[in-house]
Chain A
Amino acid sequence: MSTNGQELFPILEQKRPSGLAQLLERQVDRRTAVQTAAAALTAGLGLLQAGCNPLAASESREKAKLDWETFFQGNYRLMEDEEKDDTVRRLERSYELNTGRRINVSGQGPRKDVLYGYAFNVSKCRGYMDCVKACIAENNQDRESDMRYIRIHEMRNGEMDFGKADDGFFRDVPAAGHFYIGTQCFHCQNPPCTEVCPVQATWMEPDGIVVVDYNWCIGCRYCIAACPYDARRFNWADPVVPENELNPNQHYLGNRLRMKGVVEKCTFCIQRSRDGKNPACVEACETGARIFGNLLDPDSEIRWVLKNKKVFRLKEDLGTEPKFWYFMD
């Protein structure tokens, strides 16, 4: 599967006959039916506009067709590889039609023999907030509502009490007598959020990343209620990302642009991690407090930390099995 989006994709290359001809020529399966319906629906619109501006007409026809197909697309997890590929290409093409600019959307699947894990060194975090900033930029989060996946809690020495911590600090850090601890999605191995979803729009991938199919999410927010870690965010309005700040390197299950009314969350930067890179927060952290790697690799840093440091997880009593551990020097 091509992930670089450089080549033209099959949907566009096909010279499409009229909707009627398609109906006569093609065997109708589920996908074809949707495409046919789309063509038929847009034919009228196309004819109307063709008289004025043939080029614009064909573009708006294509746009309408893509919108139509997007509306009727299935659950991403249940798609065949070819269907997934079509879905991803459609996203790229829609964006290009709407803005005139290109993005690269990847559909990179999970890597074999990889299970991602994360460790956070409480002694090292100094509250610089580089991780939060990098996360927002990398993941195209809504700037309007100032959406954030990561929260850094400033705690007083002697109290490990989130209720008394301050996550709204802005002063010289680390403040005397305080320490810092970050929370985000812990990608639980036994996630309570995914099992409550009435439509299976969110699930755990084989490499342990808990993802959301934004197009399949109906926006009931049951997963938000079910998450004990405040990991999930909802798009209360249409998200806004300034064009010049957009990260064009995207993943279907990751940082691609979301729409209003759907839930999103940290994906361990799936668009980066599946290519061997570290999540943006790990890379941005100046102090090295954030460690990421493959739990199935006995030689990985994360496994060394789990073996050699005294680690703990938050709310471990809930049996969620977070793949996110904390430790201290």
Chain B
Amino acid sequence: MKAWLTLALLAALAGCVGHGHQSVLREAEKNPAAEGGGGVSSALALELVRRAKVEGYQDVPEFHVAQRTTAMEKFPCMKCHTKPLAQLQREQQGKKAAHWEVKLEHATPEVMDCATCHLEADLDSLATLKKAKVHMDHAYQVCAQCHQQEAKDWAGGAHGKRLGGWAPPRVVSSCVACHNPHKPKLEQRLPVMAGRSAGR
């Protein structure tokens, strides 16, 4: 009887112990993977995504941004902008503006106008605040001048959308893929489906 009891007690204990309770993250940190993708890669899923290597973020592993220019309808800008901007504006005086649909709703007029981001001297490119040239595909560099925290999160992976899958290589959308730079505020909308107030 005593033996039976001891046995039962031991069995009960065996059922309870054994899955010692450790932090999963600490365990993960102790066992780094030899290869991040575990043998799979997102290369195939990303085959059709044209991308550019992201520059300017040394403390995160190399990653790419989907090209912006391939998605733009009116690019290169120089197709229309054959003359200097000032001359074009003079000639177009009184006529319907070419970019009539663009109404800048980004910061206040005192802070920003077209030239804050667009390089007047080369309309195919964007500009830093100091008027240095930035390629359209690297628009994030323009955004990052003010939105530093967002840029840091984006580079690290806490902000924005990743393309392909979780497996390397890492390719992400550019800021402007989601945020219209002329009107960055996201509007309210209805959800794609209702929540559930009751259910089975």
Q: A residues near B, CB below 8 A?
A: 111-115, 117, 119, 121, 124, 126-130, 132-133, 145-146, 148, 151-152, 154, 166-175, 189-190, 195, 207, 236, 272-278, 282, 285-288, 291-306, 308-309, 319, 321, 323, 327, 329
1/0 per residue, CB under 8 A from A, across B35-64: the answer is 111111110010000000000000011000
14 pairs from A and B in contact (CB 8 Å cutoff): A117-B24, A124-B159, A128-B191, A130-B192, A133-B192, A168-B194, A170-B194, A172-B188, A173-B188, A236-B200, A276-B37, A276-B40, A276-B166, A329-B158
> A172 near B190 (CB under 8 angstroms)?
yes
Say whether B28 contacts A295, CB under 8 Å.
Answer: yes
CA gap between A296 and B165 in the complex, in Å:
16
> Please, which residues of chain B bring their CB within 8 A of the CB of A272?
165
Judge whether B21 and A321 touch: CB under 8 Å.
Answer: yes
Interface 9-residue window, one of B81-89, B101-109, B131-139, B149-157: B149-157
Interface of chain B residues 140 through 198 with chain A (CB within 8 A): 149-150, 153, 156-162, 164-168, 170, 178, 186, 188-198
A168 in contact with B166 (CB, 8 Å): no
Q: How far is the CB of B20 from chain A (nearest CB, A)?
A: 9
Residues on A with C-beta less than 8 A from B159 are 121, 124, 288, 329
Min distance, Cβ A200 to any Cβ of chain B, angstroms? 13
B165 touching A113 by the CB < 8 A rule? Answer: no
Contact B194 A293 (CB under 8 A): no
Q: Which residue of B lies closest to A275 (CB)?
A: B40
Q: How far is the CB of A38 from chain B (nearest CB, A)?
A: 35
Please provide the chain B residues from 14 to 38 with a CB less than 8 Å away from any CB of chain A in the complex.
15, 19, 21-25, 27-29, 31-38
CB nearest neighbor in A for B62: A299
Task: Scan residues 90-117 of chain B and give those whose CB is less than 8 A from a CB of chain A.
Answer: none
Closest CB-CB distance, A216 to chain B, in whole Å? 20
Q: How far is the CB of B64 from chain A (nearest CB, A)?
A: 14
| Contact indicator A277/B33 (Cβ below 8 Å) | no
Is A305 touching B156 in the complex (CB atoms < 8 A)?
A: yes
Q: Given A170-B191, A276-B166, A300-B36, 5 other A-B contacts at CB below 8 A?
A: A146-B200, A151-B195, A169-B195, A275-B165, A299-B168
Q: How large is the interface on B (under 10, 10 to 19, 20 to 34, 35 or more residues)?
A: 35 or more
Which of B38, B164, B166 has the most A CB atoms < 10 Å from its CB?
B166
A295 to B166: give the CA distance in the assembly, Å: 11
In the complex, which residue of chain B has the Cβ closest to the Cβ of A234?
Answer: B200
Choice from B38, B40, B193 contacting A132 with Cβ under 8 Å: B193
Contact A145 B200 (CB under 8 A): yes
Measured in the bound complex, the distance between the Cα atoms of B186 and A133 in whole Å is: 21
Contact of B156 among A152, A207, A304 (CB under 8 A): A304
Q: Quote the shortest CB–CB distance from B178 to chain A (angstroms).
A: 7
Give Cα A171–Cα B193 distance, bound, in whole angstroms: 10
Q: How far is the CB of B16 from chain A (nearest CB, A)?
A: 9
CA distance A174 to B149 in the complex (A): 22
**Shortest 6 CB-CB contacts between residues of A and residues of B:** A301-B157, A168-B197, A111-B38, A276-B167, A276-B40, A297-B36
Q: B158 contacts A301, CB within 8 Å?
A: yes
- Residue among A119, A207, A292, A298 facing the most chain B CB atoms (10 A cut-off): A298
Q: Which of A114, A152, A195 contacts B19 (CB 8 A)?
A: A195
Closest to B160 in A: A288
B165, A276: Cβ atoms under 8 Å?
Answer: yes
Task: Tell me the bound Cα distance from A146 to B200 in angstroms.
Answer: 8
- Cross-chain contact A301 with B199 (CB below 8 angstroms): no
Q: A301-B156, A321-B24 are in contact. Are A294 and B38 (CB under 8 A)?
A: yes
Within the assembled complex, what's the spacing in Å between the Cα atoms of A127 and B192?
9
Q: How far is the CB of B104 from chain A (nearest CB, A)?
A: 23
* B-chain residues with CB within 8 Å of residue A277 when the two chains form the complex: 42, 45, 164-167
Known: A272-B165, A329-B159. A112 touches B24 (CB 8 A): no
